[in-house]
Structure 1
Amino acid sequence: MEADERQVLREGFLVKRGHLVHNWKARWFVLTPDKLLYYKYDGGRRDSCQRGKILLKDCQITCPFLEHEGRPLVFRLHTKHGVDHFLEACSREERDEWAGDITAAVQKLAVADGADAKDPKDADESQLHDVNLSKVLDAMYDVHSGIRLSSHVEQGSTYSNCFSGSAVVDWLVFAQFALTRVEAVTLASALLEMGCLRTVGLRSVEAFRTAGLSEQFVDDSTALYSFSDSLKKRANVKAETSLSAVELSGKVMKRGYLLKQGHRRKNWKVRLFVLRSEPAFLHYYDPTKDDISPVGGFTLRGCLVSSLDDNGVPSGVKGNIQGNLFKIITQADTHYFIQAPTHQEKMDWIDAIRVET
């Protein structure tokens, strides 16, 4: 392994878009002080040889990067040689943490090289610059480049032609109407106060009624908003469909990339797991596609979850596995074998699942 373990700043799964064939594949990334290395998982174990590296010197980070439809969790690295790398995380928190750690590494390299690097804290202290709210609203409402309307489920109710608070904040930062998420929330709150946006669902309505002016808009994927009724409705919105709106309506308690063994071929694949509560379900998605339509899932009622010993290969497990195994047995007696990237993540997932069973 090229990366010195003592110099690993961060590591974990990200989904990367290919350069020649623009497909998305899950890779294990390792961030060091001067480069970002990535590896392939094969048969449930990480390759010992790296599949590629991204040199961080003079690299530019765009986070969020919203030009890939249906992929709001992407950030872009633009190298000094003009190569773009598109990486997708499992959540907005993970995306922003990866981008923040990479930005910090790039800035340290610039300081060491004698460049004039700006302290990342300075951006948080910057004041919201003068913005024409009408211009913001026009850009946000644009059919081609504006914020995307879709259907969302909140507490069992389906709302169409709306968007989440975190999607608005992502868009405002990406469109450079705001420099930071704090600025974007302030700007969105102003649009809400002016009646350009309206609250949809209980979460956003409650915040609008009880919070101060600067906190009326909620930067969260469960807080829903839409354009004011005075604006002309856009007609080209497709309603999202799902196998079961009820089982996908629960509150998201945990998200993350895990390795899952297939039931038939017994091969290991990286999946995005989403744990929901009320009702308690565990769904998994193909991260190379989207996080809208799960490829599988089950109720957690009556499930048994247990940690598996990493010494040897447990019964029912195939392949040259990495470790950090746990097993879930559903009420229908279906056995799921899952690997977490680390022992701590395995225990965190087990604890979270047990709360819901």
Structure 2
Amino acid sequence: MEDGVLKEGFLVKRGHIVHNWKARWFILRQNTLLYYKLEGGRKVTPPKGRILLDGCTITCPCLEYENRPLLIKLKTQTSTEYFLEACSREERDAWAFEITGAIHAGQPGKVQQLHILKNSFKLPPHISLHRIVDKMHDSSSGIRPSPNMEQGSTYKKTFIGSSLVDWLISNSFSANRLEAVTLASMLMEENFLRPVGVRSMGAIRSGDLAEQFLDDSTALYTFAESHKKKISSKEDISLSTVELSGTVVKQGYLAKQEENRPVGGFSLRGSLVSALEDNGVPTGVKGNVQGNLFKVITKDDTHYYIQASSKAERTEWIEAIKKLT
């Protein structure tokens, strides 16, 4: 990536005069979003246009096109509107995050603004936090928790932070993303929501108000009350309770090779763990995985081959896992 480029990639842009939609290559810099025509898969220079970000406002999610849920709307100081469509929710959120950062670059007052909003934000008198939570639980129009993965672990009955922000705005509980983040923080403080996993728990521990609730597609949350009420099966208890509220024995990055299985977590109860030397690498394992390998065999005889960053790290992981098996 070139110097000064914050993000680049494909977005589908709505035309200004004729409202057709065309793929363009976008390059985000500190104060400008440039876009280029494409010919033969390559950008055509000079840029076809530029969006000046100073004084720009961003709307995400933009709900003006029912059949295009992945839109971002930018409105410039001169009230020109740009509609940009991403290829996935993750890409949309990543672009919105980077563009918002570029708009607010050099404005340390944003954290102060959050503090002011935190102290001044009031729910309309006819709306209570209980009503919002009831609406979130609604089977047709609420938020549906589902399995989500973070850093190799799968967490049941969770939703991502940016999804809740989207939902609060689309249901008119908040006028913008800043208000929605503040409202979500209030729901956490009142124990209607709880953070799940490394990313969202880390934000709570940081103690920084601006980062209490994360408008982010990698931060996970769950319903605090429904979690307590609805867990019934042994499977749910063994997986969800440990993952949502268990003590972290060890954490860090590992490379894992699986054969014909979906990515996700697995139970360590009743499993066997052992170190593998270089000649113990199984046939069929792809890539450069020589060295620092260990193997976990679960009680249903599934074999996982995992690579640590060093022999010392491998030993630490093996010892930590043995304590749990």
Bigger Rg, which one:
2
Which structure carries more relative contact order (alpha carbon 8 Å, separation 6+)?
A: 1
* TM bin (shorter chain): 0.3 to 0.5
Higher helix share: 2
Q: Under a length normalisation based on structure 2, what TM-score does the superposition of the two structures give? A: 0.46
